């Protein structure tokens, strides 16, 4: 952005002296949007963010309260002013407070039961997303917070679903799906991204009549079952590929555009790596479903519908 380009949205509002309630409502609204207050009644946002649309609504509401409102497109007069404007949106202190809370919560995870862990995860996720939503200029602080959040969510996942597989170093043999029909497939219970997506993939593209066994421990896997996503399983992590990606490679499904897009989501949620825009939405849906549904069969049925829809969307979308 340059000093000659209108790169900021500035809302200026004035209200009658009797409008205390409206004034408080506006103050809360601009705070939630992540606005910087230049002074009382003057609120700044980067021009290109989605919250600018909310500023327009707020301007309309102000006029309905017999106040005055102007929403202006402005630019910084100098590069130093541009830097000063950006500094108003530095979320480093918020992220540091979040990281301190996550550190404290991590120390007490072992004392929590499953329901408490789910509540803890949702509470801190809301706090993290609230900061991310208004972090218009991510920096090192946001990256450190993301790493801390990933550590925290994976620690809870490890407690709720122990036995996350260690990657193997080996080639992935090509397999004939015709030899894998009507089989019993087994994985660890309390399904998360890789396991639920792999189960969907198996039933949708590999073995339509698959029966699933949800294991309390990988050691409980019967000899006649095809295991996936645990150490010693037939299909598990290989190199930097998660179990979903290994299944794609094993059954020659990697060229399918929709499946390859889904694989990016699963990979990002399971072991991290390149961020995928759709991953956070799928993660939220999955976390909510898992909080509501104790039964893994019910969870698979619900998330299968979500994966069906994502697959249809990705298959129709020509973007690589």
Domain harbouring 49, CATH code: 3.30.70.240
Question: Does residue 186 lie within any of the structural domains?
Answer: yes
d(CA 237, CA 233): 9
* Reported confidence tier of residue 277, pLDDT bands at 50, 70, 90: confident
Are residue 147 and residue 192 in the same domain, yes or no?
Answer: no
**Residue-level pLDDT at 161:** 65
**Domain ends where: 160, 190, 210?**
160
Is 214 part of any domain?
A: yes
301 and 190 in a single domain? The answer is yes
- pLDDT of 143 strictly over 80: yes
Residue range 16-34: average pLDDT? 88
Q: What is the pLDDT confidence band of residue 105, given thresholds at 50, 70 and 90?
A: very high
Q: What whole-number distance in Å separates Cα of residue 233 and Cα of residue 226?
A: 7
Q: Is residue 188 domain-shared with residue 155, that is, in the same domain? A: no
Checking if the pLDDT of 273 tops 90, the result is no
Q: Write out pLDDT tens, residues 292-302.
A: 898 999 999 99
23 shares its domain with 121: no
pLDDT in tens, 144-171: 999 999 888 878 877 776 667 777 888 9
**Contact residues for 72 (Cβ-Cβ < 8 A; gap 6+):** 9, 10, 11, 12
Residue range 265-286: mean pLDDT, rounded: 87
Residue 197 lies in a domain: yes
Residue numbers of the domain that contains 49: 8-87
Mean of pLDDT values over 103-126: 86
Tokens found for residue 223: 């000899």
Q: Is the pLDDT of residue 34 over 90?
A: yes
- Asked if residue 26 and residue 64 are part of one domain, the reply reads yes
Last residue in a domain, options 31, 55, 87: 87
Please check whether residues 74 and 109 belong to one and the same domain.
Answer: no
The proportion of the chain whose per-residue pLDDT surpasses 90, expressed as a percent, equals: 68
Query: 34 and 76 share a domain?
Result: yes
Residue 3 lies in a domain: no
- pLDDT band at residue 5 under the 50/70/90 scheme: low
272 and 222 share one domain? yes
Task: Indicate whether 2 belongs to any domain.
Answer: no
% of the chain with per-residue pLDDT over 70: 96
* pLDDT tens figures, 218-236: 889 999 999 999 989 999 9
Residues 193 and 234 in one domain: yes
Q: What integer is the mean pLDDT of 194-217?
A: 96
- What's the total number of domains in the chain? 3
141 & 110 share domain: yes
User: Could you give the angle at which helices 114-133 and 140-160 cross, rounded to 10 degrees?
Assistant: 160
Last residue of a domain, one of 87, 102, 132: 87
Domain contains 168: no
Nearest to 235 by CA among 296, 173, 156: 173
Q: Give me the chain's average pLDDT, please.
A: 90
> Does the residue 172 lie in any domain?
no
Please give the pLDDT value at position 253: 97
Q: What is the mean pLDDT of residues 185-195?
A: 94
Q: Tell whether 169 is covered by a domain.
A: no
pLDDT of residue 6: 63
Residues 74 and 115 in one domain: no
Residues 121 and 200 in one domain: no
Chain segment 55-94, per-residue pLDDT in tens: 999 999 999 988 999 999 999 989 999 999 999 999 999 9
């Amino acid at each position: 952005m340059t000093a000659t380009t209108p790169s900021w949205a500035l809302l200026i509002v004035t209200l009658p002296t009797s409008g205390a309630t409206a004034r408080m409502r506006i103050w809360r609204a601009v705070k939630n949007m992540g606005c910087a207050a230049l002074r009382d009644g003057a609120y700044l946002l980067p021009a290109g963010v989605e919250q600018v649309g909310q500023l327009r609504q707020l301007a309309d509401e102000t006029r309905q309260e017999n106040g005055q409102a102007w929403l202006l497109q402005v630019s910084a007069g100098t590069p130093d002013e541009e830097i000063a404007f950006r500094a108003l949106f530095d979320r480093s202190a918020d992220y540091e407070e979040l990281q301190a809370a996550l550190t404290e919560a991590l120390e007490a995870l072992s004392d929590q039961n499953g329901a408490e862990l789910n509540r803890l995860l949702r509470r801190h996720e809301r706090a993290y997303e609230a900061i991310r939503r208004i972090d218009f200029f991510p920096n090192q602080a946001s990256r450190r917070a993301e790493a801390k959040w990933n550590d925290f969510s994976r620690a809870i996942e490890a407690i709720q679903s122990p036995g996350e597989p260690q990657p193997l170093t080996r080639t992935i043999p090509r397999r004939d799906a015709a030899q894998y029909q009507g089989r019993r497939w087994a994985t660890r219970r309390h399904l998360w991204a890789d396991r639920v997506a792999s189960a969907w993939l198996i039933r949708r593209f590999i073995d339509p009549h698959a029966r699933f066994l949800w294991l309390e421990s990988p050691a409980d896997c019967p000899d006649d079952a095809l295991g996936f996503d645990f150490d010693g399983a037939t299909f598990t992590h290989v190199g930097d590929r998660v179990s979903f990606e290994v299944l794609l490679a094993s059954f020659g499904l990697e060229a399918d555009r929709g499946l390859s897009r889904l694989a990016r989501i699963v990979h990002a949620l399971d072991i991290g790596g390149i961020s995928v825009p759709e991953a956070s939405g799928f993660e939220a849906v999955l976390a909510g479903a898992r909080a509501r549904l104790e039964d893994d069969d019910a969870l698979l049925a619900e998330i299968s519908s979500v994966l069906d829809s994502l697959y249809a969307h990705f298959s129709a979308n020509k973007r690589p």
